Amino acid sequence: MSEATAEPIVIYRSVNRDGATFALEPRSLDRLRTMFGSAVRARDRIFIAHETRADYEEVQGSIAPQIVILLTGLSEDHLRPLGGVVFRDPVSERDLPRTAA
């Protein structure tokens, strides 16, 4: 597997007091379209509302697989050979840990 192919698919997560916005990084979208063609049903971004701090704490781990599918149209299993999926803060560019549901 080439070095470029081993890079993970990046999903940016931005948080405000009402919820979190998830967006597929443009280079990741280009890679997905190259690899999977019409199988990719990508969305620019999605917003998930949270009502309490507990909801915010759980959202990353509990719905991460659904976020991946909603943004890419593909499951994480399909994306694993490409280097997997990481959630990243768009400001700090740091990868975000997935918390347990």
| Calpha distance 49→26 (Å, rounded) | 23
Return the bridge partners of 30, or none.
none
- β-bridge pairing 19-24 and 45-49: antiparallel
Task: Output the pLDDT for position 56.
Answer: 53
Is 94 within a domain? no
Question: What is this structure's pTM?
Answer: 0.82
Is 49 within a domain? yes
Six-digit token pair at 27? 């280079």
Is 100 within a domain? no
The residue range of the domain holding 51 is 9-88
pLDDT tens for each residue of 53-82: 655 554 567 788 999 999 998 899 989 988
- β-bridge pairing 85-88 and 9-16: parallel
Is 95 within a domain? no
pLDDT, mean of residues 29-45: 84
Is 2 within a domain? no
Is 57 within a domain? yes
The total number of structural domains that make up the chain: 1
